[in-house]
Structure 1
Amino acid sequence: MTRPAGDGPTTQPSGPVPSALQTRACELFGVRYPIVQTGMGYVSDARLTAATANAGGLGILSAGLLSYEELATAIDAVRARTDRPFGVNLRADQPDVERRIDLLISAGVRVASFALAPRQHLIGKCKDAGLVVVPSIGARRHAEKVAAWGVDAVIVQGGEGGGHTGGVPTSLLLPQVVDAVDIPVIGAGGFFDGRGLVAALAYGAAGIAMGTRFLLTTDSPVAPAVKEVYLSKTVNDTVLTREVDGVPQRVLRAGTIDKIEKTSGTRRLIRAAGNAVAFRKLSGSRWSEMVREGLAMKKGHELTWSQVVMAANAPMLYRAALLEGRTDLGIMATGQVVGLIDDLPSCQELIDRIVAEAAEVLRRLGA
């Protein structure tokens, strides 16, 4: 049985924030706590981003599936809900990425987050305007590359994380990256409580980033019925698959994923082509823009043409489940940590609880 926000006692931080929790990430992002809510398509909207910011963490608005006009509206909506720093997650391979960066600069956004490593000149453009640049990476060599290009911090996601992910677990990847670069490192993949925050700090990280845990809050726009599907799952109810868009991503073992994995390659490509048509109509994108974006994906990520076509699957399948509530048709990205989550707090309750738990662990270890 899940516990919604406000049902039963909650744990809140007492007294000043322990010095161990006042990390380089707090100063860099301008936040109270070293806790990041990751940018998740169809999930990290203005409400969730602002709620995280108001609770003392870094909220990140997802822009990868928004048009330029929708992004401008969403930034205004975050601004209307909070006066605290927040970030925007961009896709470096979008044709209008430089225009989007200009929008972030003019809107006074604090952090430019990138799902994949941006090109060096984009990093320079952001930093010249005072944006904090934070790409997400899944391998040490990628962290070393973007650190040499001048990024301010990196989010390091281990293999147990949700969505597109690698094969190295956080417990191995995180210390590897911490030892390789001298910028703040944020750990992601498998975090959901104060114990995990302290563990990440012990590895040398400057904080933690969470996706699934923030998805499962009352501030998340995901439909209650979809959240209940997530809450019913165990740590063994996820699958790492290439069959959605051609590259590995971790999703719930639910909905249509079993059918997709059993479908022949030809039928998957036909479905993907249909989804490309539907996504073009939904997003208002021109075919020329989609072709340019596909070429950038192919070149930047060394994809085959079949993988590029399959990439049209993900937005439509995520939309079906997360926005339309069709858990029977869509797919739902998740980390394995989903099996350890059993309630739906608000962002304020969640962050307060994590900080209080972390403080208690630190006290216990100190004793």
Structure 2
Amino acid sequence: MSGVRGVAFATPLTELVGVRYPIVQTGMGWVAGPRLVSAAAEAGALGILASATMPVDGLRSAVREVRSRTDAPFGVNLRADASDASERVRVVIEEGVKVASFALAPSRELIARLKDAGVVVIPSIGARRHAEKVAAWGVDAVIVQGGEGGGHTGDVATSVLLPQVVDAIDIPVVAAGGFHDGRGLVAALAYGAAGIAMGTRFLLTSDSTVPDAVKAKYLAATVKDVTLTTKVDGLPHRMLRTEMVDGLERSGRATALLRAVRHAAAFRRESGMSWSGMIRDGLAMKHGKDLTWGQVLLAANTPMLLRASMVEGRTDLGVMAAGQVAGVIDDLPSCAELVDRVMAEARAALHRLPPVD
């Protein structure tokens, strides 16, 4: 395998989705918009458009904008438990999107509908049993995220979780959580993965629309500045430790719930959702994760707290989801420069390995 520009680096992932390199840019809310996705796709990676923070008509417009910028394959990330998931799937199918990814396991019906239309289905999972379940339901591949990953994450390290999943299922497995360079890609391939997925590393590129002042805070962070908290939405959430996060962790339950109600109203206006739709989503979330209604209300914090930082640059009012790799990243390459670098590093790492008799 080789990793120079324009030369394919073939794995089961590249063959499945038609990209040059086994690298996925993950669908980060407020971050993975048309500019970043098209730049990642043009660089030879699989760009994934984040749709959960867009209204349905906004998703269609975003897909068309990506297509106007690149002819390369790309995907859309969907919320399987959203009340309008069926409408969003229809947009993906009608617009001819190559890949549908999911943060939660999609239903058998959604999987079948997408596959019947020729869409590749790749959910993200955080446990071996979840991988086995969706594989049995017919998905084409999975992204497995270890605890190092940013945003909502588990507590099992990628180096432990990844080989478990690879051994358990016979479809391509993409490794996520802790990857940022070519050495990591080679390590993932050695574990049996078909590629790597990176979020924080693509967020910290010149093609990302995240405000420069926010990127500077990421670049200044050390590994110890990345923390895991449940105070944002009641679920384990990996992000940069800031004064805002410290304040959330000190706040009482009543204050947190009042703030959540305000953010729920703001997100309803931003996303175009109705209150009834948000209630249906809350019911689905409550059932799927066995949450209390208090935790469901707290979950309303996430979209607007992320928007405050990722769109408005207000890190004093928002939070910054981050994988632990944020502490070792110190530059802002373009997506093309990043992908070229990762592939060159992977090629060099492969050449450094001792020959096998």
Q: Normalising TM by the smaller chain, what interval?
A: over 0.9
Q: Which residue of 2 aligns with 1:7?
A: none
Report the secondary structure of 1:306's partner residue.
Answer: helix
The 1-side partners of 2:137 and 2:35 are apart by 33
Q: Which residue of 2 aligns with 1:112?
A: 100
Q: Which residue of 1 aligns with 2:152?
A: 164
1:123 counterpart = 2:111: yes
The 2-side partners of 1:14 and 1:126 are apart by 34
Aligned with residue 307 of structure 2, among 307, 319, 324: 319
Q: Contact 2:135–2:169 at 8 Å: present in 1 too?
A: yes
The total of aligned residue pairs comes to 354
The 2-side partners of 1:86 and 1:221 are apart by 18
The 2-side partners of 1:278 and 1:100 are apart by 21
Q: How does 1:81-230 map to 2 (within 5 A)?
A: 81-230=69-218
1:24 counterpart = 2:12: yes
Question: What TM-score, normalized by structure 1, do the two folds share?
Answer: 0.94
1:273 counterpart = 2:261: yes
Question: What TM-score, normalized by structure 2, do the two folds share?
Answer: 0.97
The 2-side partners of 1:85 and 1:302 are apart by 36
Partner amino acid for 1:269?
L
Q: Which residue of 2 aligns with 1:350?
A: 338
Q: Contact 1:13–1:353 at 8 Å: present in 2 too?
A: no
The 1-side partners of 2:98 and 2:260 are apart by 36
Q: Offset at 1:274?
A: 1.2
1:42 counterpart = 2:30: yes
Partner amino acid for 1:54?
E
The 2-side partners of 1:306 and 1:39 are apart by 27
Structure 1 residues 337 and 15 mapped into 2: Cα distance closer, same or farther (>3 Å)? closer
Partner amino acid for 1:142?
H
1:302-360 residue CA offsets vs partner (Å, 9 max, x unmatched): 11111110111011100111100001110000000011100000000000000011001
**Unpaired segments of 5 or more residues in structure 1?**
1-11
Report the secondary structure of 1:53's partner residue.
Answer: helix
Q: Contact 1:185–1:206 at 8 Å: present in 2 too?
A: yes
Report the secondary structure of 1:343's partner residue.
Answer: coil
Q: Contact 1:255–1:329 at 8 Å: present in 2 too?
A: no
Q: Contact 1:255–1:330 at 8 Å: present in 2 too?
A: no
| C-alpha RMSD of matched pairs (Å) | 1.3
The 2-side partners of 1:13 and 1:26 are apart by 13
Structure 1 residues 96 and 14 mapped into 2: Cα distance closer, same or farther (>3 Å)? closer
Q: Contact 1:31–1:57 at 8 Å: present in 2 too?
A: yes
The 2-side partners of 1:319 and 1:215 are apart by 14
Structure 1 residues 272 and 73 mapped into 2: Cα distance closer, same or farther (>3 Å)? same
Identity of aligned residues (%): 63
The 2-side partners of 1:124 and 1:108 are apart by 16
Q: Offset at 1:61?
A: 0.2
Partner amino acid for 1:29?
V
Report the secondary structure of 1:78's partner residue.
Answer: helix
Q: Contact 1:160–1:170 at 8 Å: present in 2 too?
A: yes
Partner amino acid for 1:212?
T
Q: Which residue of 1 aligns with 2:278?
A: 290
Report the secondary structure of 2:101's partner residue.
Answer: strand
Q: Contact 2:4–2:340 at 8 Å: present in 1 too?
A: no
Q: Contact 2:228–2:236 at 8 Å: present in 1 too?
A: yes
1:206-234 residue CA offsets vs partner (Å, 9 max, x unmatched): 00000000000000010011000000001
Q: Offset at 1:277?
A: 1.4
The 2-side partners of 1:227 and 1:241 are apart by 21
Q: Contact 1:26–1:34 at 8 Å: present in 2 too?
A: yes
